[in-house]
Amino acid sequence: MYKLLIVDDEEIIRQGMKTLIPWGELGIETVLTAASSREALRIMEAEEPQLVITDINMGEMSGIEMLEKAYQIIPDLRAIVLTGYDYFEYARDALRLHVQDLLLKPVNEELLYESVRKQIVSLDEKRAVRRSLRASSIQEQFELKSRIQSLLKGRDVDATADSLEAEYRIAPDARFMMAVLVPDVDYAMPYEDRALMYHQLHIFCMGEVDNENLGFTIFDEHSGAILILYSVDACPLGGERTFRELLGLIRSEFSGFLRAAIGAEVIGLRNIALSYQEALQLLNRDDEKYEKELRLPQNLASRNRHFSELFGEMKGAMCAHISNPSKVLKLFDTFFRAADEYGKPDTDVRKGVFRMLSDLYYTCIISGIPVSESFMGQAAASLAVASREDCRELGQQYILHMLTSRENEINKMVADARDYIDQHLADDLTVSEIAAHFFVSANYFSRLFKKHMGEGCNDYIVRKRMEKARNLLTATDLSAGRIASMVGYNDTNYFSMAFKKYFGMSPTSYRSSQRGG
């Protein structure tokens, strides 16, 4: 639960915000109020709220001046600033302080509620981060990399494992798996191009692993290999299947041959070197055999009546919402999540998908929705030999085919995904996160996007980020570091390298060329 401080010199506004918004729904336990900036600072020192809503124009000390002092008291404080039309200069100062939101007075209750909700989501995510091996800064990433490499090399194992377990709240019996990815490259390629390719692959893996709190990735500069420490307990599909999904995405988004292997599951950070050494041994075997050597954790749960009851409820809900394809796809996605959680084998998954499609088919017939007579025969034939992931993708396709004009629906999905990317370029965008937003699998979404857009989703994200960066360099005086963060790059050096690769010159040189410098 969180504490919120409302700062405004007008009592009716303070009390209005305090009483009209259902703060408890947002996880806010305590709502504090202050009539002045000085009173607000005293409350912050005593109560340490995580969130503040403040007016800009207040008597002896403005809201901006107060926030400058407040950040010294509570560095992680999240601020929402309220401003009127007449205080644009103050608004610019608020943006300079990187406040989380700027709302125009008189404030709309729904907008304020949504703004606070977003801050609570960010606070929740920040709390969750500390429970996993995820670095929150470049410096922390470097330090964490060094400590994990010490474990892999058998140096100071006990002391390093103890410190990591304490710092990241990791149980001594937590389960881990080490994976290794090695891209095959043409060493005649210029060094800068080769380095950029390695970094692009590393950033992609970080997006799919670190950002999803599934583990921690390391780039080995000497070998060009990417090492992934999977936290098996954080992987709903288990470490091996999660790694296979990552490989599928990489092969959809990147060209070139890739060798990969994953070691067996081990208990505790102290033993990750064992999994790592096994992955290396598998990697060095015949290229045609390495993937067959990957190990599957044998921890699937038995079937039980709870899953049967849940499955029946999902089938009923899907049939009840045949007029809403997005809802049906969401329920279908829930089925796969439940099947993974309950450890259902592939044969049960195939049967479950067929039964869902059968019920949808007959519901369509009864409801007068035209469906081909050969539909179920085709579905049965394709599902009979399909893998678990293929069942998921086939099911999604069959649902779209039954309930919509499939091509129109897919075009709309891709167009919506494109718009979503354009609006979130500053965020940590990953193919998996975007696909989940539309309730389809990442591999299926990746192929659809490439087919309809003519380029991979990851390539599209890079292109749009580069185009936005180019426009900002031309039209503003913002620093390269600030522009990098605005287009989704936390590492300025990596941003500069990517920009030079894309446009043939560094950001600084590009700006000078556009201004005749």
C-alpha distances out from residue 419 to 3, 448, 452, Å: 35, 15, 14
Cα 517 to Cα 170: distance, rounded to the nearest angstrom? 53
If you average pLDDT over residues 118-133, what whole number do you get? 64
Q: Which residue has the higher pLDDT, 44 or 321?
A: 44
Measured between its terminal Cα atoms, the distance across the chain in Å is 54
Provide the whole-model pTM.
0.44
pLDDT at 180: 92
Residue 291 scores a pLDDT above 70: no
pLDDT at 238: 79
Say how many C-beta atoms besides its own lie within 10 A of residue 267's C-beta. 13
Say how many C-beta atoms besides its own lie within 10 A of residue 192's C-beta. 11
- What's the farthest any 2 CA atoms get from each other in the chain? 77
Dump pLDDT digits (tens) for 192-228.
Answer: 777 777 788 888 888 889 888 889 999 887 777 899 9
pLDDT at 130: 38
Q: Which residue has the higher pLDDT, 41 or 76?
A: 41
Asked if the bond preceding 106 is cis, omega within 30° of 0, the reply is yes
If you average pLDDT over residues 11-18, what whole number do you get? 87
Dump pLDDT digits (tens) for 243-258.
Answer: 888 887 887 777 666 7
Residue 289 scores a pLDDT above 70: no
Q: At what angle do helices 406-423 and 442-453 cross, to 10 degrees?
A: 90
Cα 300 to Cα 63: distance, rounded to the nearest angstrom? 55
pLDDT at 133: 62
- Report the relative pairing of strands 226-231 and 266-267 from DSSP bridges: unpaired
Residue 466 scores a pLDDT above 90: yes
Dump pLDDT digits (tens) for 300-345.
Answer: 333 456 677 778 888 888 888 887 777 888 888 888 877 776 667 7
> ∠ CA 236-240-242 to the nearest 5 degrees?
45
Residue 391 scores a pLDDT above 90: no
Residue 415 — pLDDT band, cuts 50, 70, 90?
confident
Residue type at 448? L
pLDDT at 97: 58
**297-311 burial: b if 16+ Cβ within 10 Å, else e:** beeeeeeeeebeebb
